[in-house]
Structure 1
Amino acid sequence: MKMNRRIPVGAGMGLAIALVTAACGGANDKGEPTSPGAVVKSYADEPAELVIFGAVGNTEEVWDERFGTALKAKFPKYKFTYIQGSAKNTLQNHIAAGQPVDLVHDSLGGMRGNMIDNRLNYDLAPLMKSHQIDTSRFEQPVFDALSDKGKLYGFPLHDGGLVLYYNKDIFDKFGVPYPKNGMTWDETITLGKRLTRFDGGVQYLGLGVSINHMLTMNPYSLPFVNETSGKAAIHTDAYRKLVNKTILEPAEADGYRPYLISSNKAITNDNFMKDKNLAMFVMNFYLQLQPDFSTFNWGIVSLPVFGDLPGVGSQPYPNGLFVSSSSKYKDQGMEVLNYLVSDEFQMSLSRKGFIPVVKTKAVRDAYGADTAFKDKQIAEALYANKPAAPMPRSTYENLVLNPLSANLSKAMKGEMDLNTALRVSEEQANKALEEAVRK
């Protein structure tokens, strides 16, 4: 990828929804049938026993609070059985034991390993056509994230993505203005330098970035693995630019590197929430749900942007619900998916503080209305940027991410330069990839 090339928002796997829309021909922009007298068959009143496997690991209590109770009320003819996934009770073990599964609740990160590698993935295009799903309502890049090679396998339930959290107490202590939505990386790094100082026996750090989350949701949509060669794709000019600006430059502020060396650990949630010596933290959204957030005055703004990607934030990172290829109740499963992305249900999620996956203004405007942080102006931060196009995913991307993250941590402490970090990471990753393919 050329460094000056702008990534088109919603490009690439947006083909999945585009093809479904074109193929359907059964719904106009308002989702109304285009054929006079056309009737969409409803399966809501046909009995079905739907087994839902919670690969995300939510307890049944959490599942019911967020989704299950509403589904039981909406579909009284369906019998829902929820199974909580865990390190021991994996989806692979579940199907190997011959147990049925109709729907899988999983994150974007688990889609390939759980759905595709287990051959449970099912192209939703035929169901979307017969159920006349109105795709014009959808936040397309968020749906694209659950696609692979142009085929959509699940519907997102709520989105995630990178934002910038900040500790107002630290800003107030040093009389520094708060960050704003729409700031560039250069502006944010400069602001961070003003807050990186030693005071009262505490080393304060201006700006920290979760390395793994930044690499996984990077705004340039740079993949870990080259789809054609199957090798690591990180020793490039584009990757060099990404990690230098977002990970290494913030650590160049006076006092930052000595802190990393003396503490001998990476910047984590604890620096921001518990130690409270980190003024700004780039992290995946929903961190504010942690109890420690009630112990300090915090704010949130949009992810800083690159000059050649104005208005583009991180890639989407949704949790979704997938229809299993082995299900006998695929039409009933689509009824469930369609209800969960309805404005009615998305409104309830939005009010509870979950990022909705539809473009409906009223749904977005209701964000966080029923939460303790309803006055934090979170919606403004969430929608200041457009989501970046989802990058191609790989079953083996952790084999690249792990050495890359470890070596970048060393580079932050001055133990190796950036070029060496990328080169060594790629060599280590390629060795691991070759071994994985041979198994």
Structure 2
Amino acid sequence: MKRFSLKPMFTFLLMGLCIIIAGGCSSAVVEKTELTGSIKVVVDFKDVYDYNYGNYLEEAFPDLEIEVIEFDPERKGMSDEQRRAFIEKEQPDLILSWNYYGYKSLASSGLLEELSVRMLDSDMKEEEFHPGVMELLKMTNDGQLYGMAPTFTTSVLSYNADLFDKYTIDPPHDGMTLPEVLELASRFTKSGSQGDGIVGYHLPYSSKPSDHLKSLSASEGIQSYSLGRGQVTVNTPAWKRVYETVVELYENGTFLLQDVKGEVRDGTTYFGPEAAAEADLFKKGKAAMTLSQYGQYDEAEFKTGAVTPPVSSADRSKTSHMYVTNLMSIRKGSSNADTAWELIKFMHSDYMSKVKSKLGGIGFSSRRGDNQDDLVAKLYELQPVVLRIEEWGGGFNYGNDNVFKDHFKELEDRELIAVLQKEKSLDEAIETIQTEGQALMDAARAAK
């Protein structure tokens, strides 16, 4: 039985779907290239490597021996220092970072080779790539390029056109901020949609207060805590406005407080087909709008439309719904650096861009293509909203990091639900989140 894991949701979307559709990769006809010898590659997840790189590289370089090792095969969690020590011990030639912030940490360590000269020598022009991807890759301590990413992912705002017609509400358009999307969603409640069991905006598996708090804050580029500085900062006017917005949207029926039960195993929640179907109100025709993958609801049983994802209120050219993963870097001083660059160059070639576009999947080629529809062309024009790396990493052990995040999320949910149930005021809830959240942070740092 297929089950869906929810820890974290973003990991589920990228890894789970990659593995599910991995069989499609091997059907691609890849141009073979003469390259011999051997090369050592270090990766975060072997399954993700197999889907995103393995089948292509094995076909393209049949005479090259590729040794693949994992950073953390037992999934115990590694600190930035442990990852750097691993690289120095194993001496890989090619480093594939699934996590963007992991790449940024390595880029500041002095262990990666700067790639701009290799790009120039290979006649690779930056303007041929998504400008947002290149911006992310250069957000290093010195502004230099220490890695490349063959693909990027981004969401779209999907909507149920039949519901908008039924309630005579104008559909969403490109370039809306999340507050504007939520204001549009609230019009369904005002039009009596609750009587029909319809909500204006819903995200599968992400219907709790903490999920909406994260979505709203990320869209504006703010964070409720800094792992690097060890501080929780929710007792501010800006955060109070975010909390007020979320509470109001639950109270007026724009959000539905859904509690889909999954099976918890080893701290991870798994959702079977029935639970997954229950969670997806949009697919059931019960939600007017949702964030989704491009083309995810093309086969829905109702008329759908899609526009660009919510953008930042401060800069409508930027969105928090653009991600770069699976980054490729060369270890500085590698004796096989030239071979490693050939693999990077191949994965970023115009040929691979066309192959990926034909296969589809959940990502877009970072190299601009010619076969883009209007929406995809607009997605290529968006720039990323990026939280500072110290807000996320700061040398935290990933295990303690995740324990803190899980407990902080539970704290937010508990307090906001208490507000919704009229058990305490919002000011009281915010003070509790600040105080108990800081205690959780201190405990996690002490266990580091």
Q: If the TM-score is normalised by the length of the shorter chain, which range does it land in?
A: 0.5 to 0.7
Question: Is the counterpart of residue 122 in structure 1 residue 111 in structure 2?
Answer: yes
User: Equivalents in 2 of 1:141, 1:183: separation in Å?
Assistant: 19
Residue matched to 1:434: 442
Pairing partner for 2:202 from 199, 203, 208? 208
Q: Residue by residue, what CA displacement relative to the aligned partner does 1:194-237 show, whole Å, maximum 9, x if unpaired?
A: 32477697521101354559737823332454487332344434
Residue matched to 1:190: 183
Residue matched to 1:34: none
Residue matched to 2:9: none
Change (3 A) 1:241 1:322: farther
Residue matched to 1:366: 371
Question: Is the counterpart of residue 388 in structure 1 residue 385 in structure 2?
Answer: yes
How much does 1:55 deviate?
Answer: 2.3
User: Equivalents in 1 of 2:127, 2:316: separation in Å?
Assistant: 25
Maintained 8 Å contact 1:104/1:323? yes
Change (3 A) 1:419 1:80: farther
The aligned runs of 1:85-234 (5 Å cut-off) are: 88=74, 101-108=92-99, 111=102, 116=106, 122-125=111-114, 127-130=115-118, 132=120, 134-146=125-137, 147-150=139-142, 152-196=145-189, 203-208=197-202, 210=206, 212=211, 215=214, 218-223=218-223, 225-226=225-226, 229-234=229-234
Residue matched to 1:337: 344
Question: Is the counterpart of residue 67 in structure 1 residue 74 in structure 2?
Answer: no
Maintained 8 Å contact 2:411/2:433? yes
Change (3 A) 1:163 1:122: farther
Residue matched to 1:47: 36
Residue matched to 1:250: 249
Counterpart amino acid of 1:432?
L
Maintained 8 Å contact 1:323/1:330? no
Counterpart amino acid of 1:80?
I
- Select between 187-196 and 377-386 the one with higher mean Cα deviation: 377-386
Change (3 A) 1:422 1:339: farther
Change (3 A) 1:78 1:222: farther
2:326 partner SS: strand
Counterpart amino acid of 2:57?
L
The aligned runs of 1:279-318 (5 Å cut-off) are: 279-282=288-291, 285=293, 288-289=295-296, 294=300, 297-314=303-320, 316-318=322-324
2:365 partner SS: coil
Counterpart amino acid of 1:348?
V
User: Equivalents in 2 of 1:295, 1:52: separation in Å?
Assistant: 44
- Select between 84-93 and 421-430 the one with higher mean Cα deviation: 84-93
User: Equivalents in 1 of 2:387, 2:428: separation in Å?
Assistant: 28
1:218 partner SS: helix
2:389 partner SS: coil
How much does 1:175 deviate?
Answer: 4.3
Maintained 8 Å contact 2:113/2:331? no
TM superposition score normalised by structure 2: 0.64
Change (3 A) 1:137 1:293: same
User: Equivalents in 2 of 1:336, 1:90: separation in Å?
Assistant: 29
User: Equivalents in 2 of 1:223, 1:121: separation in Å?
Assistant: 28
Maintained 8 Å contact 1:300/1:381? no
TM superposition score normalised by structure 1: 0.65
User: Equivalents in 1 of 2:288, 2:218: separation in Å?
Assistant: 22
Maintained 8 Å contact 1:142/1:316? no
Unaligned runs of 5+ residues in structure 2 are 1-32, 263-274
Change (3 A) 1:324 1:90: farther
1:88 partner SS: coil
Maintained 8 Å contact 2:235/2:430? yes
Q: Residue by residue, what CA displacement relative to the aligned partner does 1:78-104 show, whole Å, maximum 9, x if unpaired?
A: 2234567887367869959x7674434
1:319 partner SS: coil
Counterpart amino acid of 2:158?
Y
User: Equivalents in 2 of 1:331, 1:242: separation in Å?
Assistant: 50
User: Equivalents in 1 of 2:94, 2:170: separation in Å?
Assistant: 48
Residue matched to 2:433: 425
Counterpart amino acid of 2:141?
K
| Pairwise CA RMSD | 4.5
User: Equivalents in 2 of 1:263, 1:68: separation in Å?
Assistant: 36
Maintained 8 Å contact 1:399/1:432? no
User: Equivalents in 1 of 2:150, 2:319: separation in Å?
Assistant: 20
User: Equivalents in 2 of 1:264, 1:385: separation in Å?
Assistant: 36
Maintained 8 Å contact 2:282/2:289? no
Change (3 A) 1:406 1:387: same
Counterpart amino acid of 1:366?
N
How much does 1:297 deviate?
Answer: 4.2
Question: Is the counterpart of residue 346 in structure 1 residue 353 in structure 2?
Answer: yes
How much does 1:311 deviate?
Answer: 3.2
Maintained 8 Å contact 2:188/2:254? no
Maintained 8 Å contact 1:311/1:386? yes
